Amino acid sequence: DTAVSQTPKYLVTQMGNDKSIKCEQNLGHDTMYWYKQDSKKFLKIMFSYNNKELIINETVPNRFSPKSPDKAHLNLHINSLELGDSAVYFCASSETSGGGDTQYFGPGTRLTVL
């Protein structure tokens, strides 16, 4: 009955590979997000997405692309992985895209690029 789930929990891969991280929420929320947490634990938003629009943080390389097959899922695809992509990636969801809405976070996916 996990509210926001992510798979896999750990992902170890070689530079240059393409990988995906899956996210699912069972809260019936309209908006989902991806965040990146770096080695100093700093969290930065990468994308927000609802059934109307995708908003991309302009600092995110275009090797990263979110894909949403339906309202409950927002997967993250990463092409041509680089060493600097190593981080913990968190998925989150909120009821709407309103600024005061609580965001519910998944457990995170630790990506290690060798």
Partner 1 sequence: AQSVTQLDSHVSVSEGTPVLLRCNYSSSYSPSLFWYVQHPNKGLQLLLKYTSAATLVKGINGFEAEFKKSETSFHLTKPSAHMSDAAEYFCVVSSRPYSGGGADGLTFGKGTHLIIQP
Residue 50 to residues 24, 36, 99, Cα–Cα distance (Å): 14, 19, 14
Shortest distance in whole angstroms from residue 107 CB to partner 1: 4
DSSP-derived 3-state class of residue 27: coil
75 contacts: CB under 8 Å, gap ≥ 6: 20, 21, 22, 23, 66, 67, 68, 69
Q: By C-alpha distance, which of 41, 42, 87 is closest to 61? A: 87
Q: Which two tokens stand for residue 90?
A: 């968190």
100 belongs to the binding site for partner 1 (CB under 8 A): yes
The pattern of x and - marking residues 72 through 91 that bind partner 1 according to CB under 8 A reads ------------------x-
108 belongs to the binding site for partner 1 (CB under 8 A): yes
Q: Determine which residue in the list 43, 61, 112, 114 makes contact with partner 1, applying CB under 8 A.
A: 43
57 belongs to the binding site for partner 1 (CB under 8 A): yes
Q: Which is nearer to partner 1, 41 or 84 (CB)?
A: 41
Where along the sequence are the contacts to partner 1 (CB under 8 A)? 4, 31, 33, 40-48, 50, 53, 55-57, 90, 92, 96-100, 102-108
